[in-house]
Amino acid sequence: KNKKNIIDIGSGRGENTLFLAKKNPEALIIAIEIFLDGNINLCKQLSNLKLCNVKLFSSNVLKLIDYLNNDSYFNEIWILFPDPWPKKKHYKRRLINDNFLKKIYPYIKKNGKIFIATDSTSYLQSIMNSIYKTKYLFNWQNNKPQNWIYEMLDLPHTKFFKKAQNSYRSSFFIELIKI
């Protein structure tokens, strides 16, 4: 409870989890990934680098949230390049929406942060709408477009960031702070 706790939702191959573990050696990093291959890759890298401040949760983040008490646990929540579900009929499957932001709010410590990255413009618009609808919960720290440029920030170059670059898509980065 007194430790800095960070969750990395959709950790994939673990590029961001490793970045966070190295940058925050005293913090507990919880990597959340439902796909076994990503977790196996991350475990190998953690072992090779001898990093001991990472725990894995191999299920859906909503199951973790449902398990916890309504208490402030997390200093930071990272969600880099979540599945954009690009077909309109699948938009309801997108993780980040106003209901999700309301649901995770009680689990974030005072002045805790949410970091989000996406290369999907339709998902970015949807995220921005959700931020607007929950503006009484979070302040948008980097709310000017020139501050959204993922490439300009000290952030890991994940598989999906590289994929976006190779397809000439811009990647956007959002930072929210709990009010």
Catalytic center residues: 83
Separation in Å, CA 83 to CA 2, 47, 152, 166:
32, 28, 23, 18
Letter string b/e over residues 9-27, b meaning 16 or more CB atoms within 10 A of that residue's CB: bbbbbbbbbbbbbeebeeb
The percent of the chain in helix, strand and coil, each rounded to the nearest 5, is: 40, 25, 35
Are residues 130 and 101 in contact, defined by beta-carbon separation less than 8 angstroms? yes
